[in-house]
Structure 1
Amino acid sequence: MSPSLKKLPCLLVTFCFTSLGSLAYAAPINVVKIGFAAPLTGPSAPNGEDVMHGVMLAIEEANAQKIKLDGKVTEFKLIAEDDAADPKTATTVAQRLIDAKVSVVIGHYNSGTSIPASRLYAGAGIPQISPSATNPTLTNQGFKSVFRVLNSDATLGRYAGSFIVKDLKAKKIAVIDDRTAYGQGLADAVAQFIGKSKGNIAVREFTNDKATDFSALLTRCKAAKVDLIFFAGLDYQAAPMAKQIRNLGLKAAFLNIGDLPNENFVKLSGHAAEGVYALNYGLPLSYMPKGATFDKKLKAKFGHGVLQFSPFAYDATWTAITAMKQANSSNPKQYLPALHAIQFEGITGKISFDAKGDLNHAAASVFQFKHGVWNTLAIKRSE
């Protein structure tokens, strides 16, 4: 037997021990699933994708930090679902996320999907942090597992009612909603505070979230000689409404609370965007200390920047991860108390919650589109 053949068994044994030794010293990986749900198809898909981009960026940055939970390096994994902005689909999606054993759910985007889904998550003991669902019902259900990182419509309704009557000095007001849980709840809150501000609601109407022809509604507004039209609905409906207001020769101001200001509305509405008012959740991106950097990161990774709620989604994701770090666990039973007590400085501002899970000290912004740009008119803050 040649010397080389005699040495072969030893070489094989040495190789095997080296391989086993490498495996033995490999750091254990802890996979933590982060659930996400929003409309990723249909007219609200750009909004859903905007939110998902915020979540994806937060997860990428967290994974780069090699965060350890319970002594193990943690890999955060996104489990994304399309709820199509449909309440029934949302419950199906929620059950899928529960079955996937996610540690938290960031979402849903709409109030109409978040509310029915929240009952399932609460029953399963899984925290839900919404970056965009604003109907007060979400956090008024008494669930200890529900949070949101922006103001509710009860707060925004107060801001809007005061702005319409006291700042814009509107005398005859039309209030229109899209008849979703979000739109109707917001419009009712705005109408309530218009009344408290001694404003006159001359027209109270609604459409549906699929409509694109508002001529009959707006004709009634014209007959009532309203000087302001308020619409609670999203940009893909606010844009044709703005066009039809102009085409009918209405001189009324147009104020939207939905997902403005954004460039999608400007693109869809064209010249009719000029003069439109928007009241929005949170601070303007330019007022956020890290807003410009965040927008730049989004553009580099996805080809476009913030549409609206991606900073809130980023903060919602990091809020959950920070609570997990503080509790040294991704088990909801272990980190939920840390979530309730969180004091976290996010892109959008300080994140802390009241007993219901609503954001403390939430801000709102007032804009007007003039001379080709969205101009910030005012910043409003809760006490």
Structure 2
Amino acid sequence: MNKIINASLVAATAAALAACGASDKAATAEGSAPAAATGQLTVKIGSANPLTGPFAHWGRDADNGVQLAIEEANAAGVTLGGQKVKFEVVSEDDQADPKAATQVAQRFIDSGVVAVVGHLTSGAAIPASRIYNDAGVPMVAGSVTSPKFTQQGYNNTFRIIANDLQQGQALAKFAVGQLKAQRIAVIDDRTTYGQGLADDFAKSVEAAGGKVVKREYTTNSATDFMAILTSLKAQNPDLIFYGGMDAQAGPMVKQLRKLGMKAAFMGADGVNTPEFAKLAGKDAEGAYASSAGAPKEAMPGYASFNDKFKTRFKADIQAYAPYTYDAARVLLDAMKRADSADPKKFLPEIAKTQLQGVTGEIAFEPNGDVKNGAVSLYQLQAGNWKGLLPDSAKVASAAQ
């Protein structure tokens, strides 16, 4: 009898385990796992950023934006398909590196992530997007500005920020038309973001009637720019434009002034950060930069978001937290309208987005670009970035 009972228990246990395994596999296929006791569905959202290295301050800022959106959704309570949902952020460090980004993307897919906010940089986002596309996983970027990102023909890639073509045009028109710079030197860091931005800027300078007197190149890990800057000094430029990030722009400006060069310094959104001002100190005073988006003061929800962000993370916003917060909300909104966390069901809803975000009205072009993407221009004054054009609509039109 004991043998019969034991055999029955083993069989029952095996059946139960098999049933659980089947249930887990089915749940993982939709990127979620139900909690047996409560019937609660856990839905995983990926957040991919550089969390170590020179761009970690950007990555943590962007990741915090996603975290805040998901925490608010969980606090409010969401039900999909009749089940209560708990959203979980899966944060990964892509090191702003293309190879690491593809590895992160594959880990996301393997772990059942249903959607991704990120990646932070264009060089990481573009190769990763191919993996997400093959898996049918939606990707909403809050900071990817390379035009190539939405030119790949994928239906799963979206961005809620203006692209580099718009930034390059706006900056060039301002440099030539407003600053009256005629002799312009251009440096880039050879990344997808930096080189693409510099190319667009250089073309727009020539179109606006200015002259690019020299192009130079560096890397996104360099710290010594004296040789490059010395070669530029011989050209006597009115303005030097850098396509790259604040980690290099800060030391570059200090070395620029050390050489006695009085040329104006200009960058784009990679330079428009508090970190740049800290790295360059007084030598950064008067620098110009753009932001791929409306001025903070013109964002409809910025003031309240800024208060919430500082309370939650005890830190200032670096740059993209409002955009990644809105990107996460785009995904949540699409799931609610689809009443499902299955990517096959809510991906089509992303393209139909009509959402009032912190950063403004969010809707998408057929290729995934945000509609009416704005560009704003800033100057560093007394250690703080000050908007040069108060009307964001004027800035947006300047980029067309």
2:304 is aligned with 1:293: yes
Q: Which residue is equivalent to 2:28?
A: none
Q: Which of residues 120, 127, 133 in structure 2 aligns to 1:116?
A: 127
The correspondence of residues 184-203 of structure 1 with structure 2, limited to 5 A, is: 184-203=195-214
Query: Is 1:280 aligned to 2:291, yes or no?
Result: yes
Q: Which amino acid aligns with 1:167?
A: Q
Matched, 1:227 2:238: yes
**Which residue identity does 2:164 align to in structure 1?**
D
The CA deviation string for residues 260-319 of structure 1, in whole angstroms up to 9 with x for no partner, is 332211111111111111111112222222212111111111111210000000000000
Summarize deviations over 1:206-241 as a string: whole Å, max 9, x none: 111111111111111110010000001111111011
1:161 maps onto 2:176 in alignment: no
Report if aligned partners of 1:35, 1:102 keep a CA contact under 8 Å in 2. yes
Q: Quick one: which amino acid aligns to residue 31 of structure 1?
A: T
Matched to 2:281, the amino acid is G
2:4 maps to none
- Identify the residue that residue 69 of structure 1 maps to in structure 2: 80
Count of aligned pairs? 359
- Asked if structure 1 preserves the Cα contact closer than 8 Å seen for 2:269 and 2:292, the reply is no
Q: Distance in 1 between matches of 2:305 and 2:269?
A: 22
Q: Deviations over 1:319-363 (max 9, x none)?
A: 000011011111111111110010011000111110110010011
1:371 CA displacement:
2.8
Partner in structure 2 of residue 51 of structure 1? 62
Higher gyration radius (CA): 1
8 Å Cα contact 2:274-2:384 kept in structure 1: no
TM-superposition CA deviations, 1:62-92 (whole Å, max 9, x none): 0011111111111110111101111111111
- Rate the CA distance shift 1:285–1:258 in 2: closer, same or farther, 3 A: closer
Q: Which runs of 5+ in 2 are unaligned?
A: 1-35
Structure 1: stretches of 5+ with no match in the other structure: 1-24
Cα distance in structure 2, aligned partners of 1:259 and 1:35 = 23
Measured on the aligned residues, the alpha-carbon RMSD in Å equals 1.3
How far apart in 2 are the matches of 1:206 and 1:295? 36
The partner residue of 1:249 within 257, 260, 267 is: 260
Counterpart residue type for residue 284 of structure 1: P
Aligned twin of 1:324: 335
Paired with 2:317 and 2:297, the residues of 1 have a C-alpha distance of: 11
Letter in 2 for 1:381: A
Q: Distance in 1 between matches of 2:71 and 2:202?
A: 42
AA in 2 matched with 1:255:
M
Q: Residue 41 of structure 1 aligns with which residue?
A: 52
Question: 367, 380, 385: which one pairs with 1:356?
Answer: 367
Determine if the alignment matches structure 1 residue 170 to structure 2 residue 181: yes
AA of the residue aligned to 1:246: R
The worse-fitting range, judged by mean Cα deviation, of 207-216 and 262-271 is 262-271
Please give the alpha-carbon distance, in whole angstroms, between the structure 2 residues aligned to 1:318 and 1:222.
47
For residue 161 of structure 2, what is the aligned residue in structure 1? Answer: 150
Conserved? CA contact 1:27–1:72, under 8 Å: no
For 2:269 and 2:284, the matched residues in 1 are separated by 15
Match of 1:237 among 237, 248, 260: 248
1:381 aligns with 2:396: yes
Partner of 2:318: 307
TM-superposed deviation, 1:27: 5.2
Choose which of 343, 347, 351 in structure 1 pairs with 2:354: 343
TM-score by length of 2: 0.88
Q: Which amino acid is 1:283 matched to?
A: A
Q: Counterparts of 1:365-376 in structure 2 under 5 Å?
A: 365-376=376-387
**Aligned equivalents of 1:265, 1:343: Cα separation in 2:** 35
Mean CA deviation greater in 33-42 or 192-201: 192-201
Measure, in 1, the Cα distance between the counterparts of 2:322 and 2:162. 14
**Letter in structure 1 aligned against 2:134:** G
For 1:94, which of 94, 105, 113 is the aligned residue? 105
1:202-213 to 2 correspondences below 5 Å: 202-213=213-224
Contact 1:235 1:258 in 2 (8 A): no
1:217 aligns with 2:228: yes
Distance 1:351 1:249 in 2: 45
Q: CA shift at 1:26, angstroms?
A: 7.2
Q: Which residue of 2 aligns with 1:31?
A: 42
Provide the C-alpha distance between the structure 1 equivalents of 2:271 and 2:53, rounded to a whole number of angstroms: 18
Distance 2:323 2:70 in 1: 14
Deviation at 1:258, TM superposition (A): 3.6
